[in-house]
Amino acid sequence: MTPAMFLLTSLSLGLMVLAAGAYALLYCVARFKGSRAFLMLAGCAYGVLAIDTAGLLLRAPIDPPWKLLMAVSALAYLFIPPVTWRYLQSTHREEGVHS
Amino acid sequence: MSRSKALAVKYLSAAVLFFGVMTLSGLLSAVYYINPDFLFGVLHFNTAKILHIDTMIIWLLMGFMGAVYWFLPEEFGREPVGIWAAEILFFVFVAAVLAVAAIFLFVQWGPSTETTLWLVQQGRKYVEAPRWAAVGVALVMLVFAWNVVGTALQARRITGIMAVMSVNMVPLVLLYLIAFPAIDNMAVDLYWWWWLVHLWVEATWEILIGCIMALAVMKLLGTSRRIVEGWLYIEVSLVLGTGILGLGHHYFWIGTPDYWLGIGGFFSALEPLPLLGMVVHAIYDAGVHRMKTTNRPAFYWTLAEAFGNFLGGGVFGFMITLPQLNLFAHGTQWTVSHGHFAFWGAYACGVLSVCYIALQERRKLATVDGPGWIWAFVLLNGGLVGMVGSLLVAGMAQAFFERAIGGSTLDAFIAGQENPWFTLGMYSRFGFGLVFGAGYLVLVLNLLALGRREATLALRVAPAE
């Protein structure tokens, strides 16, 4: 691993999780507001995550098992916000928190 | 007010006080990086750093205990079984902390003997306190555990949150015992030390703050116990599942088999997943209640806890969690940056949230708001983000120039320390540290003044009526 690739790989990993956070935040705002614009922004955030992950898979000097972990994590990040959202909605509905 | 809540206020007050000591000693430590001759012969860097990291442990522990003692009577409908012992031990705890601080300031070290271990310090980072003080801390923790578990037994009822907290008391007390043995072999010593540091922080503390925040959210937003407990179980299982084996990512250069780095890296890489779920939960709760609450500072500190944990633990941690990368970043200012952000997000914000919850009830305030807390919130979080950003830049310079290019030689170390990116990061860290310090002062003023003006106005208005 060259020094430049070390730094680039590390920053890409940070960006991956940061983009996941932005996707989750925008997804939640979109669901609350019922806004397609925010949903598209959330999609853009996930797009950044996907491109970043693709870059890691293609260029990062890390072994295949780690790349597999990155790919699976990227997929998990896609589903965590909607799945968590549905879980929260159902539990709140059962408890009668929502009107 | 119940005795337990009165004790909680004492603990939370002491926590805020030691938070100040931590901030001041942190600022001092930052000065040494830009002026190594600072207070030469009077107060050395190592002493300031010991005070900084040890008071960090102490103020957070006191904050956790304060929070738990605050919520215990509400959970069980009675005083804790050993409240009298806890009340006595609070003063013993504070006196011991002050005595240890005095020892660090005026004695600092001694010959390599048992007497030094017992009376001066034990020499392990984060748990340097002399053995007599460590015995005291263990005793305080035991009584704390007794008050949680014993009260549940005597009340003959237990809630899900308290069940999780009770089980967590076992490792919380047991893992601290690693602070005691003096192991001659440094590699073996570090092996166990990582258990203390990592498992305490990333397992038991994480669960404890999870329980505290569950109680806080119920109080703040009126969220039902079933929802909060359901989420707590998921969070605890995920955090434990990823956090316990994530321990392996620390096992560099201490003779452990290579596979530990792989195991540690793998499970650490999974840690951001539950944190993302927590962010979604925080946004959901905030949105459901349309950001409306009677205690805005507590609510915002709770939100800061979720986001800070995700950014500090998740984003900053993920950058350096793979063993191939951690090899270069380990022990640089990069890890300091991650540590500062993660501790702040995961724990400090939660404790500050409980401080405001306790104050609202203690001062009988219908609502808690006003500009004071906003200033404190912005200055503290802004200062912290600035500090960790500066440390990140400095740490990257270290990892890049000193480790990756220079190959970790002494020359490379010197070159890394003199690199403009590193020095700029150190100056910038100090500057943002001052912002953080100003935030602390505003926080204390706000905590002291909160509701008092309204009370005074009410007293003035009353005679006219």
Q: What is the per-residue pLDDT across A34-87, written as a single tens digit (0 to 9) for each?
A: 999 999 999 999 999 999 999 999 999 999 999 999 999 999 999 999 999 999
Q: Which residues contact B18 (CB under 8 A, 6 or more apart)?
A: B55, B58, B59, B62, B97
Q: Are B68 and B141 in contact (CB under 8 A)?
A: no
- Mutation target for B interface from A13, A33, A57: give the one with most B CBs within 10 A: A13
Residue A99 has a pLDDT of 37
B315 touches chain A (CB under 8 A): yes
Tell me, yes or no, whether B443 lies in a domain.
Answer: no
Q: What is the DSSP letter of B345?
A: I
ipTM above 0.85, yes or no: yes
| CATH number (domain holding residue B137) | 1.20.210.10
Q: Are B145 and B173 in contact (CB under 8 A)?
A: yes
pLDDT digits (tens, 9 = 90+) for B323-348: 999 999 998 999 999 999 999 999 99
Q: Are B352 and B301 in contact (CB under 8 A)?
A: yes
State how far the Cα of B234 lies from the Cα of B182, in Å rounded to an integer.
38
pLDDT at A98 over 70: no
Would you place residue B464 in the very low, low, confident or very high pLDDT band (cuts 50, 70, 90)?
A: very low
Would you place residue A96 in the very low, low, confident or very high pLDDT band (cuts 50, 70, 90)?
A: low
Q: What is the mean pLDDT of residues B30-51?
A: 93
pLDDT at B292 over 90: no
Tell me, yes or no, whether B174 lies in a domain.
Answer: yes
Residue B459 has a pLDDT of 54
CB-closest option in A16, A27, A95 to B224: A95
Residue B222 has a pLDDT of 83
Tell me, yes or no, whether B152 lies in a domain.
Answer: yes
Residues of B whose CB is below 8 A from A10: 319-320, 325, 329, 396
pLDDT at A4 over 60: yes
Residue B463 has a pLDDT of 53
Tell me, yes or no, whether B141 lies in a domain.
Answer: yes
Residue B453 has a pLDDT of 67
pLDDT at B95 over 80: yes
A6 touches chain B (CB under 8 A): yes
Nearest-Cα distance to chain B for A54, in Å, is 16
Closest listed residue to residue B355, CA positions, set B294, B306, B302, B308: B302
Tell me, yes or no, whether B17 lies in a domain.
Answer: yes
pLDDT at B68 over 50: yes
Residue B231 has a pLDDT of 82
Closest listed residue to residue A44, CA positions, set A26, A31, A57: A26
Q: Are B428 and B390 in contact (CB under 8 A)?
A: yes
Would you place residue A16 in the very low, low, confident or very high pLDDT band (cuts 50, 70, 90)?
A: very high
Between B27-41, B162-176, B269-283, B345-359, the lowest mean confidence (pLDDT) is in: B269-283
Residue B279 has a pLDDT of 86
More confident residue, B360 or B237: B360
Nearest-Cα distance to chain A for B248, in Å, is 16
pLDDT at A95 over 80: no
More confident residue, A12 or B286: A12
Tell me, yes or no, whether B99 lies in a domain.
Answer: yes
Q: Which domain holds residue B151?
A: 1-182
Tell me what percent of the residues of chain B surpass a pLDDT of 70. 97
CB interface of A with B, residues 25-54, below 8 Å: 25, 27-29, 32
Contact A6 B226 (CB under 8 A): no
Residue B116 has a pLDDT of 93
SS3 of residue B295 by DSSP: strand
Half-sphere exposure of B196 (CA within 13 A, CB side): 18
B310 touches chain A (CB under 8 A): yes
Domains: count for chain B: 1
For residue B217, with 0-12 CB atoms within 10 Å meaning exposed, 13-18 middle and 19 or more buried, which class applies? buried
CB-closest option in B273, B284, B404 to A85: B284
Tell me, yes or no, whether B336 lies in a domain.
Answer: no
Average predicted confidence (pLDDT) for chain B: 91
Tell me, yes or no, whether B175 lies in a domain.
Answer: yes
SS3 content of chain B, % helix, strand, coil (to 5): 80, 0, 20
Half-sphere exposure of A5 (CA within 13 A, CB side): 10
Extents of the domains making up chain A: 20-95
Q: What is the mean pLDDT of residues B193-215?
A: 88
Q: What is the mean pLDDT of residues A13-21?
A: 96
